[in-house]
Amino acid sequence: MGYELMSLHILGDSRGSLIALEENYNIPFAIKRVYYIFDTKKDVQRGFHAHIDLKQLAICVKGECTFILDDGKHREEIRLDSASKGLLIEGLIWREMHNFSPDCVLLVLASEHYNEDDYIREYDKFLEILAT
Ligand code: TYD
């Protein structure tokens, strides 16, 4: 439980590169939802929440952005700056996204459908839930 930066295998040849994402193979969950964040305006910060029960894999398929991941004790910054870097997040982790490059397309694969009830959007509540 937590997060892990995965190196996604690039299938490349003289024409360029290709990465395949396959559920329960290189993606360690069944994929119920895919969304992507793009055209993010300058200096915008996103996220600022945790999930009760969700697995996600985030990939900057174009451009770059920074994730801040916080388990209630430590905060770590991870720069997603390559289409071959996949950030797997599961369990109770507070996440924020910062410093989007103008061309950033952040693709997210998720293990569950969108459900606002799964979100913890207040940091104090996140710490409270961690302590229970
Ligand atoms: P929001 O949670 O603010 O995005 P982020 O955490 O990346 O900053 O989501 C923005 C809006 O989009 C909000 O109204 C909820 C909606 N939304 C969906 O309808 N489906 C989804 O899968 C996601 C991620 C968000």
Q: Which residues are near ligand 1 (CB < 6 Å)?
A: 33, 35, 37, 46-47, 49, 114
8 Å CB contact between 49 and 118: no
Tens of pLDDT along 53-104? 999 999 999 999 999 999 999 999 999 999 999 999 999 999 999 999 999 9
Sign of the C-alpha dihedral computed for residues 108, 109, 110 and 113 taken in this order: positive
pTM score: 0.96
Nearest CA to ligand 1 atom 22: 114
Q: Give the number of the atom of ligand 1 that is nearest the alpha carbon of residue 116.
A: 15
Number of neighbouring beta carbons within 10 Å of residue 60: 26
Q: What is the pLDDT of residue 7?
A: 98
CA 71–ligand 1 middle distance (angstroms): 21
CA 35–ligand 1 middle distance (angstroms): 9
How far is Cα 22 from Cα 118, in angstroms, rounded to an integer? 25
To test the pocket of ligand 1, the residue of 32, 33, 35, 113 to mutate (highest count of ligand atoms within 8 Å of its CB) is 35
The yes-or-no verdict on residue 1 having pLDDT over 70 is no
How far is Cα 15 from Cα 30, in angstroms, rounded to an integer? 30
Q: What is the pLDDT of residue 99?
A: 98
CA 54–ligand 1 middle distance (angstroms): 14
